Amino acid sequence: MKTPVTSRSALTQLTIAAVFMALTIVFCSFSIPVPGGHLYLCDIAICTAALLLDPFLAFAVGGVGAFLGDLIFYPLPMFVSLVTHGLEAILISLFARYILKKKPKLASILGLALGALVVVVGYSLGRRFVYNVAGGWAAVWLKLPYEILQALVGAVVGYLLYWKTPLKKIYLRMIQN
């Protein structure tokens, strides 16, 4: 049975979303240099938040958080980040909440895998057509392994934080009180 949403639980969820959005922005502020660009860790915050939060708040964390992080630190990809990370977060949240309800770990894995695919494809297409980087498709192929690595790190660490730590229990306790 679903717990009714009270104004206190709604405020708690909004506050938690704001904390994850701040984490996303912070993780957009530093990167690991790799050939053809940088490797960011913002997917860790986005994937974890998307497993915890409803699709709307997940979009706020992923899409808006990444957009603001890029706006502050490196504005060129901010619209690509809004769409790509926003869609990633929505898909993960939808799978974690509504798909395969009897197998929530499998649903989380499927959502995270689909979200990772969205990130890889979104940034690859963004790099080619929106950024219009020098080198065309060669530049996209050069960065592809790092896009995959970034998406996998975010998905794996997000999964571990959600399922292997007390984070999920703490979150549920907070929104039910």
Tens-place pLDDT, residues 54-66: 999 999 999 999 9
pLDDT (0 to 100) of residue 42:
94
Cα separation of 78 and 23, whole Å? 17
Q: What is the mean pLDDT of residues 158-168?
A: 97
Cα separation of 4 and 26, whole Å? 33
pLDDT (0 to 100) of residue 128:
79
Question: Which of 23-32, 66-75, 111-120, 123-132 shows the lowest per-residue confidence on average (mean pLDDT)?
Answer: 123-132
pLDDT (0 to 100) of residue 39:
84
Architecture of the domain defined by 7-176 = Orthogonal Bundle (1.10)
Helix (H, G, I), strand (E, B) or coil at 37: strand
Backbone phi, psi, residue 20, to 5°: -65, -35
Residue 5 confidence class, pLDDT cut points 50, 70, 90: low
29 or 56: which carries more pLDDT confidence?
56
- Residue 1 confidence (pLDDT) above 70: no
132 or 145: which carries more pLDDT confidence?
145
Residue 171 confidence class, pLDDT cut points 50, 70, 90: very high
Q: What is the mean pLDDT of residues 24-50?
A: 89
- Residue 118 confidence (pLDDT) above 70: yes
Average model confidence (pLDDT) across the chain: 90
**Which pairs count as long-range contacts for 106-109, CB under 8 Å and 24+ apart, including other chains?**
108/51, 108/159, 108/162, 108/163, 109/159
% of the chain at pLDDT higher than 90: 67
Query: How far apart, in Å, are the Cα atoms of 66 and each of 28, 29, 47, 70, 116?
Result: 7, 10, 12, 6, 15
